[in-house]
């Protein structure tokens, strides 16, 4: 067995008064893909930051090639070839893609940076990732998935010997994930060790050699992946078996009233002439490849983007010019961009939770007691795990931020919930809770629009599925027709409207 390239002995970590890691032992061999799994808040990201030198450990040691290395900032570890792709984007938004990819180790010619060389190399790396962003675009203008690809490009453009990826696929779709896996296999063949964190256990099964499970900051097990089924991994993570991940579908009766109808909605440059209807008790899935324009369609509908078309609520046209109008119409929106549009990372949980629904918390003065009560309730309802209720939201684990975001949206008690990638970065156990939550929500005579890039999620939950391609609705599937191959056919243009009608050819 090869010598471990990176190892940790008894690593522990304390934030303020709370301990989040307890004596973790870990080792990583060259050429292996080592998955790290655990519930939200288990301490995975924290542990990875310690391995990569971004955070100092409170106790224990980290060794590289058998030698103990003190933590002296990320630069030192990176020089040893240890590169971390953060769960939360770690890009300077005002800089261009190319500037970000080479930040801190620019190529130079004489005293000047060699822009053409960097642009070319950046282009090459992005091409390798099948990513089509322009190296000269500002990161601020990119979609979340593109940002993630840029993060990956940034990492692999370095001299990497250990690549730590913290939920790289949370914001990627199937195709992009496939590209990433191809890349991982290539790196693996070159002897690079990969640490792979994901809540998508099928991916873990597919790509990794060994898996380490953390729970509540403690090491539970490290085992070869071949020895474990997905269920077994889930059980190790959660401490109990996960059954019936998806609730049994309960489609609304065919004569259920239409709560929301959209007719001929267009968003310039993104969506053209989209129409659909949502009935009481229904979960309506939206499927499509990245860039299909699902997010833009919803944002157009909600008044967050300029759009044309008609929106009918309970059969009556309602003008929705701003999110406030949408809120008044009983529509709640869960954004896919948690960090950029969803949460104020420097503020507390309470302030974030009630921000959207603030008019409901008191009249002239905000009723803080009511807010606190709402937070206490949300923490229970959505299983938000924060070890300290007063930390800024930015210090919550990624999954718990996502749960808080869902809770925030629910504060307005919407009748219609538009959930864009609701389970992004959520562990299996909690996913199940969210699925059941959405199911129950619809069962109570409300309705859900579910946008998801995870095919099983759409198939497992939705009563009908609208498929979009390049800004155009290409089909609506129902009942038994909701299955992967059929969705893909519509999403890729094999079925449905001819592609020259599309707003954009993807």
Are 121 and 112 a contacting pair, CB within 8 Å?
no
> Binding-site residue total for ligand ATP (CB under 6 A)?
37
Choice from 11, 225, 238, 292 touching ligand ATP (CB under 6 A) = 292
Q: How far is the CB of 166 from ligand ATP (least distance, A)?
A: 7
Tell me if 324 contacts ligand ATP by CB under 6 A: no
Tokens 């008894």 correspond to 10
Please give the C-alpha separations between residue 212 and each of 174, 197, 232, 406, 425, in angstroms, as whole numbers.
24, 10, 12, 29, 18
Residue of minimal Cβ distance to ligand ATP: 399
Are 151 and 83 a contacting pair, CB within 8 Å?
no
Nearer to ligand ATP by C-beta: 318 or 504? 504
Pairing of strands 447-451, 416-420: parallel
* Residues from 274 through 333 that contact Mg ion (CB under 5 A): 295
Nearer to Mg ion by C-beta: 214 or 329? 214
Q: What angle do CA 455, 398, 381 make, to 5 degrees?
A: 80
By rule CB under 6 A, what string of x and - marks binding of each residue 129-148 to ligand ATP? Answer: ------------x-x-xx--
CA distance 153 to 125: 6
Residue 292, binding choice from Mg ion, other proteins, ligand ATP, none, Cβ under 5 to 8 Å by partner class:
ligand ATP
* Residues from 390 through 409 that contact ligand ATP (CB under 6 A): 391, 395-400
Tell me if 96 contacts Mg ion by CB under 5 A: no
Tell me if 294 contacts ligand ATP by CB under 6 A: yes
CA distance 3 to 27: 9
Tell me if 295 contacts ligand ATP by CB under 6 A: yes
> Binding-site residue total for Mg ion (CB under 5 A)?
5
How many residues in total does the chain contain?
506
Tell me if 173 contacts Mg ion by CB under 5 A: no
Residue 308, binding choice from Mg ion, other proteins, ligand ATP, none, Cβ under 5 to 8 Å by partner class:
other proteins
* Residues from 427 through 456 that contact ligand ATP (CB under 6 A): 427, 453
Choice from 7, 12, 45, 327 touching Mg ion (CB under 5 A) = 45
Q: How far is the CB of 245 from other proteins (least distance, A)?
A: 20
Nearer to other proteins by C-beta: 248 or 364? 364
Q: How far is the CB of 445 from other proteins (least distance, A)?
A: 24
Side-chain half-sphere CA neighbours of 313 within 13 A: 16
Q: Which residues contact 393 (CB under 8 A, 6 or more apart)?
A: 343, 344, 345, 346, 347, 348, 349, 352, 401, 404
Contact range with ligand ATP by CB under 6 A, out of 259-267, 365-373, 388-396, 406-414? 388-396
By rule CB under 6 A, what string of x and - marks binding of each residue 164-183 to ligand ATP? Answer: ---------x----------
- Could you say which DSSP state residue 209 is in? S
Token pair, residue 504, equals 């954009």
CA distance 279 to 159: 53
Q: How far is the CB of 310 from ligand ATP (least distance, A)?
A: 21
DSSP symbols for 322-379: SHHHHHHTTEEEE-S-IIIII--TTSBHHHHHHSTTGGGS-SSS--HHHHHHHHHHHH
Q: Helix, strand or coil for residue 11?
A: strand
Tell me if 87 contacts ligand ATP by CB under 6 A: yes
Nearer to Mg ion by C-beta: 44 or 313? 44
CA distance 125 to 154: 9
Nearer to other proteins by C-beta: 256 or 345? 345
CA distance 98 to 313: 45
Helix (H) or strand (E) run with residue 116 in it:
helix 115-128
Tell me if 398 contacts Mg ion by CB under 5 A: yes
Choice from 7, 45, 96, 352 touching ligand ATP (CB under 6 A) = 45
Token pair, residue 502, equals 């599309």
Nearer to other proteins by C-beta: 108 or 182? 108
Tell me if 383 contacts ligand ATP by CB under 6 A: no
CA distance 282 to 278: 7
Residue 340, binding choice from other proteins, ligand ATP, Mg ion, none, Cβ under 5 to 8 Å by partner class:
other proteins
Q: How far is the CB of 315 from ligand ATP (least distance, A)?
A: 28
Q: How distant is the alpha carbon of residue 33 from its chain centre? A: 21
Are 91 and 152 a contacting pair, CB within 8 Å?
no
Site residues for Mg ion per CB under 5 A: 45, 87, 295, 397-398
Site residues for ligand ATP per CB under 6 A: 15, 20, 38, 40-46, 87, 141, 143, 145-146, 173, 288, 290-296, 336, 386-387, 391, 395-400, 425, 427, 453
């Amino acid at each position: 067995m090869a010598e471990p390239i990176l190892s940790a002995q008894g690593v522990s970590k304390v934030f303020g008064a709370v301990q989040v890691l307890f004596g973790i032992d870990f080792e990583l061999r060259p050429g292996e893909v080592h998955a790290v799994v655990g519930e939200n808040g288990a301490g995975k990201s924290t542990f990875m930051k310690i391995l990569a030198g971004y955070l100092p450990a409170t106790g224990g040691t980290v060794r590289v090639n058998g030698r103990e290395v003190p933590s002296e900032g990320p630069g030192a570890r990176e020089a040893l070839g240890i590169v971390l792709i953060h769960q939360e984007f770690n890009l300077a938004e005002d800089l261009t893609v190319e500037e970000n990819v080479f930040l801190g180790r620019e190529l130079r010619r004489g005293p000047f940076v060699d822009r053409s060389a960097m642009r070319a190399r950046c282009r090459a790396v992005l091409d390798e990732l099948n990513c089509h962003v322009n190296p000269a675009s500002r990161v601020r203008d990119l979609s979340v998935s593109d940002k993630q690809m840029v993060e990956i490009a940034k990492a692999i453009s370095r001299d990497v010997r250990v690549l730590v990826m913290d939920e790289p696929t949370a914001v990627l779709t199937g195709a992009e994930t496939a590209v990433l896996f191809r890349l991982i296999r290539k790196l693996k063949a070159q002897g690079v060790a990969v640490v792979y964190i994901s809540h998508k256990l099928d991916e873990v099964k597919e790509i990794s050699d060994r898996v380490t499970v953390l729970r509540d900051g403690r090491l539970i097990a490290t085992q070869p992946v071949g020895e474990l089924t997905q269920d077994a991994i889930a059980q190790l993570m959660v401490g109990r078996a996960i059954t019936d991940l998806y609730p049994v579908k309960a489609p609304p009766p065919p004569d259920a009233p239409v709560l929301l109808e959209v007719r001929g909605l267009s968003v310039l440059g993104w969506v053209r002439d989209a129409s659909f209807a949502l009935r009481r008790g229904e979960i309506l899935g939206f499927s499509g490849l990245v860039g299909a324009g699902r997010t833009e369609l919803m944002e157009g509908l909600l008044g967050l983007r300029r759009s044309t078309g008609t929106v009918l609520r309970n059969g009556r046209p309602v003008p929705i010019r701003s999110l406030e109008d949408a809120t008044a119409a009983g529509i709640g929106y869960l954004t896919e961009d948690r960090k950029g549009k969803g949460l104020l990372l420097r503020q507390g949980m309470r302030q974030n939770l009630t921000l959207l629904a603030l008019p409901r918390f008191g009249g002239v003065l905000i009723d803080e007691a009511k807010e606190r009560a709402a937070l206490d309730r949300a923490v229970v309802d959505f299983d938000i795990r924060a070890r300290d209720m007063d930390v800024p939201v930015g210090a919550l684990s990624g999954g718990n931020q996502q749960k808080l975001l869902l809770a925030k949206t629910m504060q307005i008690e919407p009748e219609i919930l538009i959930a864009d990638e609701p389970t992004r970065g959520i562990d299996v156990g909690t996913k199940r809770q969210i699925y059941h939550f959405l199911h129950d929500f619809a069962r109570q005579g409300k309705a859900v629009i579910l946008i998801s890039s995870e095919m099983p999620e759409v198939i497992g939950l939705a009563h009908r599925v609208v498929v979009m391609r390049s800004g155009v609705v290409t089909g609506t599937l129902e009942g038994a027709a909701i299955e992967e191959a059929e969705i893909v056919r519509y999403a890729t243009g094999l079925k449905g409207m001819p592609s020259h009608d599309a707003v954009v050819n993807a």
